[in-house]
Structure 1
Amino acid sequence: MIVDNALYHEGVRVPLDGDEPSLGHARVPCGAGDFQWVGLLDPTAAELALIATTFDLHPLAVEDSGDSHQRPKLERYGDTLFMVLKTLWYVDEYDAVETGEINVFVGPDFVVTVRHGQGVNLATSRRDLEQRAKVLEHGPMAVMYAICDRVVDEYERVGAALEVDVDEVEESVFSPARTDDSVRIYTLKREIAEVRRAVMPLREPMRRFAAGQIDGVDEQTATYFRDVSDHLYRVSEVIDNLDVLLSTAFDAHLARISVQQNDDMRKISAGAALVVVPTLIAGIYGMNFDHVPELHWAYGYPFAVVLMIGVSTGLFYWFKKSGWL
């Protein structure tokens, strides 16, 4: 469905006829310096086809915009720029990164945004941008900048949330208590991979925008994109560092398990020794041969019991001192 449709003149929104935005009057005439921004949310194939006809959009780009599983990319079809961005938000309860998608068509005098999933609410970006007339004066590329800026800001929030969870994992791995962190480490690495799939392919398009290598991006507009590109590279560095930290934490977790198993084996061996020595003494005295020492001695039994207790006590303190118990 169409969620908003506006005409902008010199950075100021111009009211359109009609109470509700609709596909029926999606295209409006634009004067010099004017541009139109149409926003769609989870449109049907018929709605996309109508918008494509109205704004003369390339069929391949329209086909991609109808699929919510595209890779972030930037393509040009004639005088229309087509960009795909992945939106991210973090569900801390499940350590899960959820994804959506925004497809942006930018022409000489129009912008069409197609949003899939919850993700970034472009209505907020539109209101914020409408409060900045100086930015809107840069035309359709100002909308592209505002959308990219909002999406990358959400990437930073997701990165910050992942940092908190990775810190929790590190604290748990190196705590004195016995913990099983392998499942959570795997989950976080999988979610970081999801973030990486959204962030990494976007770096090259942002670099091209920031360098002014895209038609329609002048030096002043490129300044805004340089800020977005800087934030994007900062997020990518955070994601790389978190991935390395999780790999290190997993190695440390395995090492701790190995140390704990060795410690357990020492304790089991010490406990077995405490049982084996008295058993050995009792076995010798249970042979009932005439020439066994102290067999016919009146104090032979108490002597054997005291010997068992004495040897076991000596072994216990020796193992304790050695750290085996």
Structure 2
Amino acid sequence: MLYAYATRKGRLTRLDRDADLGQAIWIDLIQPADSEIAALRALGVEVPSLAEMEEIEISNRLYREDGFDYMTAVLPGERADGQRAAMPVSFILAPQRLVTVRHHSPRPFMTFPDRGERSTLGCGSPDRLFVGLLEEIIARLADILEGSGRVLDETSAGVFERRSGAAGNARGRPDRLQQALREVGREAELMARVRLGLLTIERILAFYTAILDDRPEADRLRPVVRAQVRDVQALEVHADYLSSRVSLTVDTTLGMINLEQNSTVRILSVVAALFLPPTLIASIYGMNFTAMPELDKPWGYPFALGLMLATSVGTWFFLRWKNWL
């Protein structure tokens, strides 16, 4: 799939599918077909394959070839099957246009066309368009981290919440703790994808800074790029803080689950202790010895029942006296 955009009155406008791609300032390729790759090759742009984009060698992700700058970042987004994943996105910066190649759908690529003119430098040139798109991506990653922080706040509050007043809530608390673990696990996986995206964006900005002197608007671009580098570094610190909170929340949740299990085991132990003396008495009087005087007495049966009850009550008071209940 191919989307082409031109700048008209300072705004990005999508071109018709049969329009001349030479007019486009931004060409966005999504899982490009062979015909679309051929159309880009006619403009002198070599479109990297997914295998090339996934290559972890930094030399294969950040390089210059035939006057074009190839930069690849790994960004979180949604795949065609609806699953969330972190996949590579390539930015090909040419003198006349910006080409992006991706195989999933990060949200900034859907929101930026409608508000590209509101970025710091607008979208009047390929470099400004590239810097503005990075600005949108960084803002999106910041929003994801903010959302993860709210989820962690709510999850932590639920873990520490006391709901011992109702039997139904007490029975449902282990389920809530397990759900809290699942939620924290999902947020941890999301933050890992965001952290990887920030790392690759920081590498792109470092590469772009190194070649910035060759750009026609270097003086205008440099302060914005520096600000983006500071934003990325601040977000990396915040991501590390949230990761530590994830570890704390997981440890707390596991501790609460252990306490719940210990409480259940303690109740079962108390019940077993209460029934232990009556069981002993019943076992004694269940022995088939000939000389057992109580068996021939009319008060033998009530005496055995009373003794069982007395030992159970005595055991309960003993446990209360020891503060084990």
Query: Smaller-chain TM-score range?
Result: 0.7 to 0.9
Judged with a 3 Å threshold, the aligned counterparts in structure 2 of structure 1 residues 275 and 239 are, in CA distance, closer, same or farther, namely same
Is the partner of 1:27 in helix, strand or coil? helix
After superposition, the C-alpha distances for 1:272-291 in whole angstroms (9 at most, x for unaligned) are 12112012223334447677
Q: Which amino acid aligns with 2:22?
A: R
Q: Which amino acid aligns with 2:183?
A: R
- Could you state the TM-score of these two structures normalised by the residue count of structure 2? 0.74
- Could you state the TM-score of these two structures normalised by the residue count of structure 1? 0.74
**2:22 match:** 27
CA distance in 1, matches of 2:311, 2:110: 81
After superposition, the C-alpha distances for 1:39-88 in whole angstroms (9 at most, x for unaligned) are 2332312212221231x23x4xx224797757694322242112223443
Question: Does 2:112 match 1:125?
Answer: yes
Per-residue deviation at 1:221?
Answer: 1.0
Question: Does 2:178 match 1:192?
Answer: no
**1:31 match:** none
More helix by share: 2
Question: Does 2:202 match 1:203?
Answer: yes
Per-residue deviation at 1:132?
Answer: 6.9
Alignment check: 8 A CA contact 1:274 1:312 kept: yes
**1:32 match:** none
RMSD: 3.9
Alignment check: 8 A CA contact 1:209 1:226 kept: no
Question: Does 2:104 match 1:109?
Answer: no
**1:162 match:** 148
Judged with a 3 Å threshold, the aligned counterparts in structure 2 of structure 1 residues 304 and 140 are, in CA distance, closer, same or farther, namely same
Aligned match for 1:44, one of 33, 50, 71: 33
More displaced stretch, 151-160 vs 216-225: 216-225
Per-residue deviation at 1:152?
Answer: 1.2
Write the mapping of 1:170-189 to structure 2, written as runs, cut at 5 A: 170-176=156-162, 177-178=173-174, 179-181=177-179, 182-189=181-188
Per-residue deviation at 1:215?
Answer: 3.4
Judged with a 3 Å threshold, the aligned counterparts in structure 2 of structure 1 residues 199 and 39 are, in CA distance, closer, same or farther, namely same
CA distance in 2, matches of 1:276, 1:191: 52
After superposition, the C-alpha distances for 1:145-183 in whole angstroms (9 at most, x for unaligned) are 111011111111222222222233323333442232443
Q: Which amino acid aligns with 1:53?
A: A
Is the partner of 1:63 in helix, strand or coil? coil
After superposition, the C-alpha distances for 1:176-216 in whole angstroms (9 at most, x for unaligned) are 42232443333333333232332222222224546776632
Judged with a 3 Å threshold, the aligned counterparts in structure 2 of structure 1 residues 65 and 301 are, in CA distance, closer, same or farther, namely closer
Judged with a 3 Å threshold, the aligned counterparts in structure 2 of structure 1 residues 286 and 13 are, in CA distance, closer, same or farther, namely closer
Per-residue deviation at 1:294?
Answer: 6.2
Consecutive unaligned residues of structure 2, counting only runs of 5 or more, are: 163-172
Consecutive unaligned residues of structure 1, counting only runs of 5 or more, are: 29-35
**1:144 match:** 130
Write the mapping of 1:244-323 to structure 2, written as runs, cut at 5 A: 244-287=244-287, 299-320=299-320, 322=322
Q: Which amino acid aligns with 2:70?
A: F
Q: Which amino acid aligns with 2:156?
A: E
Q: Which amino acid aligns with 1:37?
A: I
CA distance in 2, matches of 1:289, 1:150: 89
**1:3 match:** 3
Judged with a 3 Å threshold, the aligned counterparts in structure 2 of structure 1 residues 115 and 214 are, in CA distance, closer, same or farther, namely farther
CA distance in 2, matches of 1:14, 1:170: 43
Per-residue deviation at 1:320?
Answer: 4.2
